[in-house]
Amino acid sequence: MSLRANIILKEFGITQGVPDMKFNEDGICSFLIDEEYDITLIADSDEKIYMYGVLANTTIEDAHKQALVLISANTYLFSSAELVCCYESQAQAFILMKVLNLDNLTTNIIEESIDKIIDTIKNVRSTLAELEL
């Protein structure tokens, strides 16, 4: 895991009032925003941080009900916010993912990315509710 990733996460934590924010030994940092939005950051050795936001918890058996809508939204999500929707089988959830390169990463970029993920989660959840999925 990158030293730069640890430094930028600590700086971000300080701006959020969580000065002890850090990656665990596996390079993972998870937190809940507004008791509703589950965000996970994963640092890798390639100078990237993968940001995940849980969109919808669903078993693999029930995932097919939402899959076509979410897969068809991928082009829009990627072109508008560089987000990708996928199914994470271990978490049994559809997630939104964004890749952040450490080269030019700042605490503002992390905050803006989290805001984009949360806004997208709200919009997609609303659409799924309208479609009764």
Structure tokens given for 81 = 């916010």
Which residue type is seen at 69?
Answer: V
Q: For residue range 99-127, what is the model confidence (pLDDT) as tens digits?
A: 999 999 999 999 999 999 999 999 989 98
Tell the residue number behind the tokens 């994963």, with chain if given: 42
Three-state SS at 72: helix
Three-state SS at 98: strand
Which residue type is seen at 20?
Answer: D
Which domains occur in the chain, in start order?
Answer: 3-130 (3.30.1460.10)
Structure tokens given for 21 = 């924010």
Q: For residue range 14-73, what is the model confidence (pLDDT) as tens digits?
A: 999 999 999 999 999 999 999 999 999 999 888 899 999 999 999 888 888 888 888 888
pLDDT at 133: 63
Q: How far apart are the first and last CA of the chain?
A: 38
Cα separation, 79 vs 38, whole angstroms: 23
Residue 72, burial from CB neighbour count under 10 angstroms (0-12, 13-18, 19+): exposed
Please count the CA atoms within 13 angstroms of the CA of 55 that sit on its side-chain side: 33
Report the predicted TM-score, pTM, of the whole model to 2 decimal places. Answer: 0.89
